[in-house]
Amino acid sequence: MESSFEAEPALRLEALCQNPEEPLAMPLGRDEAGVWRSDWSPLLALMLDKDLTQRVRAARFHSSIAHALVAQAIAVREQEGIDCVGLAGGVFQNRILTEHVLSLLAKAGFEVLVPKLLPLNDAAISFGQIIEGNASDA
């Protein structure tokens, strides 16, 4: 029987992280709808680089994603004046990523909100849709 550790690559990456590593720069730009998006393509070469240990690749991956998320938050703040960020979604079940993002956002002067009564993952999507729908009607 296959263990869950072997079955879940994302859990392997999280488990391999031990020390912070330098992030890769991921280009940030706005798409045709005006949404800020990071180009993840630099991560492909990193993850395939056999000259680096798995631990280094995992740590750089997590650090790169965390820095990209903060860069997006900063871009939105500069554009919209928003300084409060809510973290939700299954990706934030990853302790390493969440702790890194929380730390970087705090250093950048953001107020950060995380769910306490609802699950972080997709189980709370319907609740968020209700809240958004009610706010849009106001």
Residue 45: which CATH number? 3.30.420.40
Q: What is the mean pLDDT of each run of 10 residues along the chain (138 residues)?
A: 46 69 91 93 92 90 94 95 90 89 96 87 79 76
pLDDT of 19 reads 67
| CA–CA distances in Å: residue 96 to residues 14, 17, 23, 50, 58 | 6, 8, 14, 23, 10
Q: Where in the sequence is the domain holding 123, given as residue range(s)?
A: 4-137
pLDDT of 78 reads 95
pLDDT of 51 reads 95
pLDDT of 120 reads 78
Q: What is the pTM of this model?
A: 0.79
CA distance 57 to 65: 12
How many domains would you assign to the chain?
Answer: 1
